[in-house]
Structure 1
Amino acid sequence: MLKQHLQQKLLQKLSPQQIQFIKLLQVPTVALDTRIKEELEENPALEDSSLMTLDEPKGEYDDLQDDRDDFDGDKGEDTGMDEFNVDDYLQDDSTNDYSTSYNNGDDEEDKKETPIAIETTFFESLQQQLDLVPLSDQDFIIGKQIIGSLDDDGYLRRPITSMIDDLAFSQNVMVEEEDVLEMLKLIQSFDPAGIAARDLQECLTLQLKKKDANNPLIKKAIEIVEHHLDEFTRKHYDKLERAVGLNSEELKEVVAEILRLNPKPGDSNQVTTKQMQIIPDFHISNNDGVLVLTLNARNAPELRVSRSYMDMFEHYDKASQKDKKMKEAVQFVKQKLDSAKWFIDAIKQRQQTLLKTMNAIMHYQYDYFLTGDERKLRPMILKDIADKIDMDISTVSRVANSKYVQTEFGTFLLKSFFSEAIQTESGEEVSNKEVKKILEDCIGKEDKRKPLADERLTEILKEHGYNIARRTVAKYREQMNIPVARLRKEL
């Protein structure tokens, strides 16, 4: 039996404008140029006024202003863009709403592409070396199969039996295991040393055997790698001294020789296809004790709505006869104009949100940005900044996770300034960054022959007034990528 009934639901929806703003907000400066270029290519109604010709008039359609401050990327409110009015696109204002105080003359330098050297990958290098060796057709095919089976770090982790099957099914070449092992031995003699090893022990041994075999230092190093690698990796130097019959000074020289070897020979000649380029989104300068915050000019592009598209809309709007095709044309032009203005609004909102968030972070950590001393970092979580700027925590998180600030003492990810609070014996709350700095200083000054254990580090922190458990000390040490005391030991 069918029944009708009324039901009320409370739903929160994001308009396309808010979604666009959220996506733009989390884009770092280095990727913003690409995003703007994509929008310029997709929407002919959007133009970059910085690329205008000198003969083209400027001012009447440039730097569109948004007098409606109700565009809020956090609250998901309707911006009322359904009503179309061409006058919204014809405001005259010579002031560039997107300009910032950042202008240090680096723009032209930033726009230059970083040259990438053309290098040969280790796969190509091995293939070139294989081509120079006189081989039978079968051995050449086996050699190519081995080179193609190597991992990016230069190791051969694919079983010999699997390569034999590959050759049989894909190349129709029937070979024995001895044939593959013979070619593997040949390829292991190629450069770089240690290539095509099946494990770390074999990799290090291959590199040592390419050195002077008559050198007693090398002989002892080979003995340690082949028979005592576990003790070596665990830094049980006292056991090694007894096992190989060396004193501490002799063992120190042998260990230094092993540490010079490359555990990943393939990486040494590998071409890096992706380069990580960091362009700071903000700049903080110290002007006689007063911090000055500026936004990278790349975050403020000179975008405008196309004059030709506005003229086109006026022409269609004034047409005396409006058939179906004319209405479709008007709708198309309206859609492109709206999309262009929404994108400009989103860029403007992004700029305002970035400045507002970074300004709050700068004032919250004012003492730190004046001196660069990590011990002056205050405990700060996302909610502290969100409450100050009256925005959602997710908005602050999007800014902090992908934006960088350049200071007089380095360029840092904003996320690195957020830290938990730790209470001292006096009841004062300090940042865990301060505790990590003390740990780093203690470990940096320790006697490497007798490194400080976590228990001793805990006692030192208690002497400084930080009542922290040993497991917390271990957690901070791991976060700083510092190994345990046994692995920090040196001869």
Structure 2
Amino acid sequence: MLKQGLNQKLLQKLSPQQIQLMKLIQLPLPMLEERIKQEIEENPALEEVKKDEEYADEEAVVLESEEDEYDEDGVLVDEPEITSLEDFEEYDTLLSDETPDYKLKSNNYSPDDEEYSIPVVSSVTFFENLSHQLGMLKLTDKQRQIGEYIIGNLDDDGYLRRDLESISNDLLFTKNISATEEEIEEVLKKIQDLDPPGIGARDLKECLLIQLAKRPQTPVVKLARRILENHFEEFAKKHYEKLMDRLDLDEDTMRDVIEEISKLNPKPGLQINTAFDRDYSIIPDFIININNDQLELTLNERNAPELNISREYKELLQAYKEGAKTNRSQKEALLFVKQKLDSAKWFIEAIQQRQQTLLITMSAIMNFQKEFFLTGDWTKLKPMILKDIADEVGLDISTISRVASNKYVQTPFGTFLLKELFSEGMTTADGEEVSTKEIKKILELAIAEEDKSKPYTDDQLCKILNEKGYPLARRTVAKYREQLGIPVARLRKELKK
């Protein structure tokens, strides 16, 4: 049975302004600049204040008085009088494209002046590079189409991860090209001859063999090819003793083979991608300096652009208000202008609130990790989680997470990702609470100093850390080792020199 009634409920809803603020807080500096630029383009009531804008009107008046002369009636003295079509054509000719360049330019430069120009950077993509090389080969139209399709299926590492049967089916259904696996294999072999060596391989073994085939065929290269062809698994797992026994090799020969193979590129596609990628430099959001053993925090000035509401739109609003009572079109225009002005005001307030939130949060982090910022020593980094800073500044944990997301801080000891300063903690045997970052640094140092012919196992690393006062389980040591990107002991093993 349906019933109708009134109920009161207390609900929390974020306003559009709060949602906009949360989105702005989590943006790193380059994306913030793009967001501001986009807002200025979409909202004509919002404008960015230029540094020299306050002098613009004065300069305009000076330039006008210097360049133009007017008579008593306000007519430009040098303006030609146009009274007929012939006069207009004569005046238009003076401004036509046929006018010599030297008449339109002024020589205001001295030989000592420096000329500045912005270089234009052009780049070639990974696929364009290979397609260009493919175009230099003698191929039939069918082979060229197959080759283009194969190149389009290479991953970023330069490998062809799809089997030839699937490529054959796709060519038939998408390109209406009937090609056997043998025909595709033939074109693939031609692609594998392109630069960089190893491109178009279907697995790591084939990639390394392609590169070795292009090297001068010395005895060491021939032996390396033989080992990869027949004993790839043993070599990849670094079972060097087994290989030496099976192939009757001494340590010097085996070491030469390892050195030869280590020169090869396991990811040839990255060589092309990296060569033509744009070089994006890190722009710090915060700058910390040390002055008389005191930390000084500043916000990157690009985080604080000077935004203003357009004066013309304010005047337009006032003009429409006067006529909106009687004119419907004026009323609609008034509503549009008011919406744009409100939107610009909200955006400016959100940017200012963002600046304040960033400074408050970073100040709390700086004070919490004062010893680290004064010394740059990672072992001085205290355990710190998002909740610690949230409690300190009185903000929600999600807000602190947004502030720390993709933000960088510049210090006298380097530029760090803000997230790197957060870590869990553990209690040592002496009862001192330390950061897991400190433990990882000690673990990394122990592995760097180990005998590579007999690398430490996880059990041995666990024992070393326990002796240093860090009571860790073996699985925890293994987890930290994996987080550092360090392989197991067997894969770190090297032959003695």
Using structure 1 for the length normalisation, give the TM-score: 0.83
| Pair 199,385 (structure 1): closer, same or farther in 2 beyond 3 Å | same
Tell me which amino acid in the other structure corresponds to 1:4. Q
Equivalent position SS for 1:150: coil
- Of 279, 287, 291, the match for 2:283: 279
* Aligned ranges 1:55-454 → 2 under 5 Å: 55-56=56-57, 117-213=121-217, 215-270=218-273, 276-319=280-323, 321-454=325-458
| Pair 39,179 (structure 1): closer, same or farther in 2 beyond 3 Å | closer
Query: Contact 1:220–1:244 at 8 Å: present in 2 too?
Result: no
Query: Contact 1:421–1:429 at 8 Å: present in 2 too?
Result: yes
Cα deviation 1:137-166 (Å, max 9, x = unaligned): 444444444434433322223322333344
Unaligned residue ranges in structure 1 (runs of 5+): 58-111
Which structure would you say has the larger RCO, counting Cα contacts within 8 Å and 6 or more residues apart? 1
Cα deviation 1:63-118 (Å, max 9, x = unaligned): xxxxxxxxxxxxxxxxxxxxxxxxxxxxxxxxxxxxxxxxxxxxxxxxx9997853
Query: Contact 1:30–1:277 at 8 Å: present in 2 too?
Result: no
| Pair 198,289 (structure 1): closer, same or farther in 2 beyond 3 Å | same
CA distance in 2, matches of 1:397, 1:126: 42
| Structure 1 partner of 2:28 | 28
CA distance in 2, matches of 1:205, 1:116: 39
Using structure 2 for the length normalisation, give the TM-score: 0.82
Equivalent position SS for 1:50: coil
Tell me which amino acid in the other structure corresponds to 2:19. I
Instruction: Give the number of equivalent residue pairs.
Output: 437
Query: Contact 1:30–1:278 at 8 Å: present in 2 too?
Result: no
CA distance in 2, matches of 1:158, 1:286: 55
CA distance in 2, matches of 1:238, 1:433: 36
Q: What do you get for the CA RMSD once the two structures are aligned?
A: 2.5
4+ residue segments displaced more than 6 Å? 112-116
Q: 1:321: how far off? A: 4.3
Tell me which amino acid in the other structure corresponds to 1:434. E
| Structure 1 partner of 2:75 | none
CA distance in 2, matches of 1:173, 1:351: 59
| Pair 364,115 (structure 1): closer, same or farther in 2 beyond 3 Å | farther
Q: Which has the larger radius of gyration?
A: 2
| Pair 2,191 (structure 1): closer, same or farther in 2 beyond 3 Å | closer
| Structure 1 partner of 2:49 | 49
Equivalent position SS for 1:292: strand
Equivalent position SS for 1:405: strand
Query: Contact 2:383–2:425 at 8 Å: present in 1 too?
Result: yes
Equivalent position SS for 1:345: helix
Unaligned residue ranges in structure 2 (runs of 5+): 59-115
Tell me which amino acid in the other structure corresponds to 2:466. K
| Pair 432,320 (structure 1): closer, same or farther in 2 beyond 3 Å | closer
Q: Which moved more, 1:15-24 or 1:309-318?
A: 309-318
Q: Percent identity?
A: 56
Query: Contact 2:124–2:276 at 8 Å: present in 1 too?
Result: no
CA distance in 2, matches of 1:465, 1:29: 41
